[in-house]
Structure 1
Amino acid sequence: MPDLFHSLLKQDIGHLRIVAELWGIELESPKAEGALEELSASLLDPDLLTEIIDSLPPEADSAITALVNAGGRLPWGTFTRKYGDIREAGAGKRDREKLYLKPASATEVLFYRGLIARAFFDTQKGPQEFAYIPEDLLSLFSRTDEQPPVPTISVEPLGRPASPGERGGEIPADDSILDDATTLLAALRLGIEPPETKIPKNVILSLLQAEKILNKKGTPQPEPIKKFLEAPRKDALAMLADAWLESEAFNELRLMPGIVCEGEWTNQPLETREFLLNLLDAIPEGKWWSLNSFLRDVKVKYADFQRPAGDYDSWFIKRASDGQYLRGFAHWEEVDGALIKYFITDILHWLGQVDLSIAEGAAEPTSFRLSSIESSNEEKGKISVASNGKINIERTAPRVVRYQVSRFCEWEEPRQDEYLYRVTTRSLTHAKEQGLKAEQLLALLVKHTGNKVPPSLVKALKRWEVNGTEARVQTQVILKVSRPEVLEEMRKSKAARFLGEVLSPTTVVVKGGAIQKVMDALTELGLLTEVEESKE
């Protein structure tokens, strides 16, 4: 950091005289250059510095202490949000109104005494403006913390216990993320569009990639899938949670609904995650905690938790609903505050680590409780098979079995805690194209239903394995005429190319999409036709 001389070098003679006046120093030189040398020497007197520091108002004393404990500098935005800004004023207005005698903030108190300056310094994210104490002046301060300046977190939990009014209907944490992950993995292996899941697909995909169950391109990896699905539920949930905990790629901010992140800027999701978890670790486990009070205290004490340089302008984030860009500290609640809420009420809840409570009349969680679910290691849910090929699989059935069975079936809309599938010739053909055999499905069903597979389905699967599809059901358009002579005349006309298989002397199949053309041809032959709607 620049020393005192260079920090005051760009200031005019009027500013230097203000600093001297507030320090009780008389400057002899009428020019800025000489006055600067006199002032720099005087301000570095340890005894005089002690007198000035002792005379500071409490807020200004807190501000200079914060700078000292931070190693001598803090991002300008961070510093001024807490301790106030410096009013914009030219030299004339400053001297005429004597603004320095009526400081509007702690920052002005320190600035007009020469104790702080502002300048741009290089950071990992590029040049960033800082409030700083000149280097030689900083060396005279007694550090309140002799350790290297590192971010510290109070041992006291932020926020407060939830009030009775913040408690309401409880939503316990569960391990249903494992079931959604199983559904998504099966859909990916089948190459079909995944059905709607309780937890957003992009979150599950990111977790599966963090655990390397999917590669970076989102392709399923057979061996990791097998390990994940065969693991006891408690261990499988821990696999996802541990992968999330250590992932640099899982980005809660970019996954958060309601906003759109644009541009090439980067954030630090791993560091942000660790910081927030440290804050939450201070909250007593099992105690309901006020969500709003926690957010409020984070904003007061650690507003820049995910923005180390206090930069609220370089990230291009817009509101998804109307496209408005959310730049500046004024949008903290919509971005940074929303991220904390998403982190607690969604990510941690989905991973089985937080219970939620919604107060009466509220639409969103109002309190939370740190917990750890007792996930059962046994998956004993039932699998039932009907003679028409319908298969019902309870949510608590072995995940690996549902994954395997679902690859042979058409998927139907699931019920509460139950997945529904149906065996069809199309689904068996699709499975065969992926190297699967009908006999494998039959073996799975026999084993996991206690040999309660209907004989008719057993017979059907075995016959399909040998003969393939033996019967087809088709919906076709049939043309019926009153006499065979009419059909014969049709077959000799230009409409013949629209006619298919002859079913009887007076009945013929009409090729797909050709109804109107056949009707037009009949009209040209002098015959009017009518279309009969099927009655179901």
Structure 2
Amino acid sequence: MTDLRSTLFEYDLHLLQIIANRWDVDLDTRDEKVAAERIAEAMLNPAQAEHEWSRLSDAERGALQMLLASRQHKMPAVQFGRLYGEIRQIGAGAREREKPHLAPKGIGEILFYRGLLAMGFDESKTGLQPYVFVPDDLAAVLPIHQTGYDLSAEPDDFPDEDDEEQETLTEGNDEDIEEVELEMEAPPHQHKADTTLVDDMTTLLAYLQVHETRLESGYLANELQDDLMAQFVGPKEYARLDLLIQLAGQMGLIAVVNNTFQPVRQTARTWLESIRTAQVKSLVDAWRTSEGYNELWLVPSLDPEATGWQNDPTLPRETLRGVFEAVTGETWVSLDGLVAEIKAVEPDFQRPGGDYSSWYIRERRTGEYLRGFESWNAVEGTLLKFIVAGPLHWLGLVDLGMDTPDGIPIACHLNVFGKAWAGHGDWPNRKDPETPLTLEASGKLLVPRAASRIDRFQLARFTEWGDPADPYVYLLNSKGFKRAEQQGIKPENVETFLQRTVHTIPPHVHALIENWRKAQGASAVIQKMIVLRVDTEALMEVIWETPEIRRFLGVKLGPLAVAVREDQWQGLMGAMQDKGIPVETEL
């Protein structure tokens, strides 16, 4: 931030006179620059600064000490104002008429008119916003280590303020932030994070490869979402599915082609061939910068309305990361304590200029709008907990702790991936174990989660999928072979794959593949059929040669049977009865 002289150079003569009176500086000049120089010289005198410090109340010193302890001795003006009162920005003419320095609205204005803090603008994560700050050179001479002065002999700072007003100033604007410890003991029940997001990303890519996924309004239809999630080994939640789809798009693993999601062959192959630790890192890196995945719009208890406002979903993620950077690796972190810490230190982490009125967000349960800072816990607090219990856990970064086995998360703990994400070490780089596939004599293939993701992706292209589990189950059968033909996969491709991955192909599987090879281009269908049977060939000849009856018939199935069109059997009965031929039905 700027120094004291540069700050005072921005002030008009009336404001400089107010500050000069407080610091016992005699201004006999109308030159603002000269006046600012004289005031700065007095304020930067350590003895005079100590004297002024001694005249502050405990509440005023506390506010100044908090500001001085902040990074770069500054704090967002909105946040400071919530704690110590808004500092009204008033022009010289209005200030001379209204005399706000004689009736300050809070501790903030008291300190401002003493010159001990100033207002300015600076860039923040949410854009340009106003800050309250103490100039660096002034901060260096203030005796912040001295507290507990006897103020009984001090005169009133502002003779116009009454007892009630003074009480308000010393109390400040407490936002009722409950003090909750950030760190806690390990909860009795824990849910360890895993890397199933990698496995389900593999499933997503395979599913999009073998299914035609027509999009509705640019996204998967609901029935396709449900069918896809049924194949996941991880949590079957829509917010998690959306995370996978958004990250796949951002990483270039999938693209929209002819209104369908389709894997991008080379990019997807490169990712599928990577080791698991690298795959986890790629997902985490994509999530950190993803703007397509917007957690605020996925929190179950919130119902945002698209009225033109926009939020930056990367800001809450980086805010959380900043807190975890300061947490020791083996500590369990209370989610309530985490929320309270951010509310106390950086409450406006996602609100440009601390604006809590321009976003239209309803509480889903009541339908009421959540406006103003009083809704912080319902919006920001809930969002932060959702990110921890959702994306951070799904990405494999944090374990969750609960009071009961099925309870809601109350704490989290960084695992080895989480520590790397938070800057507590290098990212793990472990080689994948050699994990073979198992081919049973029946044609059933068992694929452990630890197996190569590229092998499972390829296998899923020419097999029927079983229920998702560890190991995955895939079936070599005619249904899978038909899927293979649709993608241009030939029997020899399947044989080569099996020889590489399972080495020995059972005789029955050899026979299955050989029958597929012989039957390529042909097909067999099992279907229901209505059949007319007769006792003698002579009766069949009469029926076949009678046009009024024959029009209801299909192909002959032998000398005594003929197919009947499914929707024509009642007409056939009527025609035969009209010709005097008795007929019964067993339908």
Compute the TM-score of the two structures, normalised by the length of structure 2.
0.66
**Equivalence for 1:306:** 350
Aligned mates of 2:208, 2:398 — CA distance in 1: 29
- Secondary structure of 1:309's counterpart equals helix
C-alpha displacement at 1:532, in angstroms? Answer: 5.7
Counterpart selection for 1:450 from 494, 503, 506:
503
Unaligned runs of 5+ in 2: 89-98, 143-179, 213-223, 418-427
- Secondary structure of 1:473's counterpart equals coil
- Secondary structure of 2:312's counterpart equals coil
Q: Which amino acid aligns with 2:460?
A: S
Aligned mates of 1:125, 1:409 — CA distance in 2: 50
5 Å matches for 1:308-347? 309-319=353-363, 325-347=369-391
Q: How many residues align?
A: 491
Aligned mates of 1:119, 1:372 — CA distance in 2: 42
C-alpha displacement at 1:468, in angstroms? Answer: 1.4
Q: Which amino acid aligns with 1:181?
A: M
**Equivalence for 1:441:** 494
Counterpart selection for 1:213 from 244, 253, 256:
253
**Equivalence for 2:424:** none
Task: Please say if residues 75 and 131 of structure 2, whose CA atoms lie closer than 8 Å, have aligned partners that are also in contact.
Answer: yes
Answering whether residue 424 of structure 2 is matched by residue 402 of structure 1, we say no
Task: Please say if residues 317 and 326 of structure 1, whose CA atoms lie closer than 8 Å, have aligned partners that are also in contact.
Answer: yes
Greater displacement, 17-26 / 310-319: 17-26
- Secondary structure of 2:488's counterpart equals coil
**Equivalence for 1:474:** 526
Aligned mates of 1:42, 1:394 — CA distance in 2: 78
Counterpart selection for 2:438 from 348, 373, 383:
383
Task: Please say if residues 356 and 373 of structure 2, whose CA atoms lie closer than 8 Å, have aligned partners that are also in contact.
Answer: yes
Aligned mates of 1:144, 1:305 — CA distance in 2: 31
Task: Please say if residues 390 and 421 of structure 1, whose CA atoms lie closer than 8 Å, have aligned partners that are also in contact.
Answer: yes
Counterpart selection for 1:168 from 174, 179, 188:
188
Task: Please say if residues 399 and 415 of structure 2, whose CA atoms lie closer than 8 Å, have aligned partners that are also in contact.
Answer: yes
Aligned mates of 1:285, 1:531 — CA distance in 2: 78
C-alpha displacement at 1:252, in angstroms? Answer: 5.3
Q: Deviations over 1:480-516 (max 9, x none)?
A: 36674895599626x93x65333354542324xx26x
Q: 1:361 to 1:506 in 2, by over 3 A?
A: closer
C-alpha displacement at 1:400, in angstroms? Answer: 1.8
C-alpha displacement at 1:123, in angstroms? Answer: 8.6
Aligned mates of 1:328, 1:63 — CA distance in 2: 23
C-alpha displacement at 1:531, in angstroms? Answer: 7.7
Q: Which amino acid aligns with 1:477?
A: M
C-alpha displacement at 1:451, in angstroms? Answer: 0.9
**Equivalence for 1:226:** 269
Q: 1:509 to 1:142 in 2, by over 3 A?
A: same
Q: 1:130 to 1:353 in 2, by over 3 A?
A: closer
Counterpart selection for 1:293 from 306, 331, 337:
337
Greater displacement, 48-57 / 186-195: 48-57
Task: Please say if residues 385 and 454 of structure 1, whose CA atoms lie closer than 8 Å, have aligned partners that are also in contact.
Answer: no
5 Å matches for 1:118-267? 141-142=138-139, 159-163=181-185, 167-192=187-212, 193=224, 194-196=228-230, 197=232, 198=234, 200-214=240-254, 219-245=262-288, 247=289, 249=291, 251=293, 253=295, 256-258=298-300, 259=302, 262=306, 263=308, 265-267=310-312
Task: Please say if residues 334 and 410 of structure 2, whose CA atoms lie closer than 8 Å, have aligned partners that are also in contact.
Answer: yes
**Equivalence for 2:171:** none
Aligned mates of 1:464, 1:399 — CA distance in 2: 26
Q: Which amino acid aligns with 1:55?
A: R
Task: Please say if residues 490 and 522 of structure 1, whose CA atoms lie closer than 8 Å, have aligned partners that are also in contact.
Answer: no
C-alpha displacement at 1:66, in angstroms? Answer: 5.6
Aligned mates of 2:583, 2:13 — CA distance in 1: 100
C-alpha displacement at 1:55, in angstroms? Answer: 2.7
C-alpha displacement at 1:436, in angstroms? Answer: 1.6
Aligned mates of 1:224, 1:310 — CA distance in 2: 41
**Equivalence for 1:492:** 548
Task: Please say if residues 439 and 462 of structure 1, whose CA atoms lie closer than 8 Å, have aligned partners that are also in contact.
Answer: no
Task: Please say if residues 393 and 418 of structure 1, whose CA atoms lie closer than 8 Å, have aligned partners that are also in contact.
Answer: yes
**Equivalence for 1:428:** 481
C-alpha displacement at 1:406, in angstroms? Answer: 0.5
Greater displacement, 295-304 / 124-133: 124-133
Compute the TM-score of the two structures, normalised by the length of structure 1.
0.71
Task: Please say if residues 202 and 255 of structure 1, whose CA atoms lie closer than 8 Å, have aligned partners that are also in contact.
Answer: no
Aligned mates of 1:442, 1:277 — CA distance in 2: 49
Aligned mates of 1:530, 1:58 — CA distance in 2: 105
**Equivalence for 1:61:** 61
Q: Which amino acid aligns with 1:56?
A: L
Q: 1:169 to 1:73 in 2, by over 3 A?
A: closer
Q: 1:442 to 1:8 in 2, by over 3 A?
A: same
C-alpha displacement at 1:244, in angstroms? Answer: 4.1
Q: Deviations over 1:76-111 (max 9, x none)?
A: 432222324589xxxxxxxxxx99889774335447
Counterpart selection for 1:368 from 399, 406, 412:
412
- Secondary structure of 1:451's counterpart equals coil
Answering whether residue 558 of structure 2 is matched by residue 510 of structure 1, we say no
C-alpha displacement at 1:404, in angstroms? Answer: 0.7
Aligned mates of 2:437, 2:14 — CA distance in 1: 80
Greater displacement, 41-50 / 290-299: 41-50
Q: Which amino acid aligns with 2:82?
A: R
Q: 1:485 to 1:131 in 2, by over 3 A?
A: farther
Q: Which amino acid aligns with 1:445?
A: L
Q: 1:526 to 1:107 in 2, by over 3 A?
A: farther
Greater displacement, 356-365 / 373-382: 373-382
C-alpha displacement at 1:407, in angstroms? Answer: 0.5
**Equivalence for 1:80:** 81
Task: Please say if residues 461 and 484 of structure 2, whose CA atoms lie closer than 8 Å, have aligned partners that are also in contact.
Answer: yes
Aligned mates of 1:299, 1:368 — CA distance in 2: 18
Aligned mates of 2:456, 2:405 — CA distance in 1: 39
Task: Please say if residues 121 and 131 of structure 2, whose CA atoms lie closer than 8 Å, have aligned partners that are also in contact.
Answer: yes
Aligned mates of 1:298, 1:171 — CA distance in 2: 24
C-alpha displacement at 1:243, in angstroms? Answer: 4.4
Q: Which amino acid aligns with 1:230?
A: E
Greater displacement, 295-304 / 461-470: 461-470
Q: Which amino acid aligns with 2:356?
A: Y
Aligned mates of 1:386, 1:76 — CA distance in 2: 73
- Secondary structure of 1:339's counterpart equals helix
5 Å matches for 1:345-356? 345-356=389-400
Q: Which amino acid aligns with 1:220?
A: P
Q: Which amino acid aligns with 1:474?
A: I
Task: Please say if residues 352 and 372 of structure 1, whose CA atoms lie closer than 8 Å, have aligned partners that are also in contact.
Answer: no
Unaligned runs of 5+ in 1: 27-33, 88-97, 146-157
Task: Please say if residues 265 and 314 of structure 1, whose CA atoms lie closer than 8 Å, have aligned partners that are also in contact.
Answer: no
Q: 1:351 to 1:248 in 2, by over 3 A?
A: closer
C-alpha displacement at 1:278, in angstroms? Answer: 3.1
Counterpart selection for 1:357 from 388, 401, 405:
401
Q: Which amino acid aligns with 2:284?
A: A
- Secondary structure of 1:284's counterpart equals coil
Task: Please say if residues 191 and 401 of structure 2, whose CA atoms lie closer than 8 Å, have aligned partners that are also in contact.
Answer: yes
Q: Deviations over 1:136-178 (max 9, x none)?
A: xx69844589xxxxxxxxxxxx944323xx6122222222222
Aligned mates of 2:18, 2:348 — CA distance in 1: 33
Q: 1:432 to 1:361 in 2, by over 3 A?
A: closer
C-alpha displacement at 1:181, in angstroms? Answer: 1.5
Aligned mates of 1:7, 1:520 — CA distance in 2: 101
C-alpha displacement at 1:264, in angstroms? Answer: 5.3
Q: Percent identity, please.
A: 27
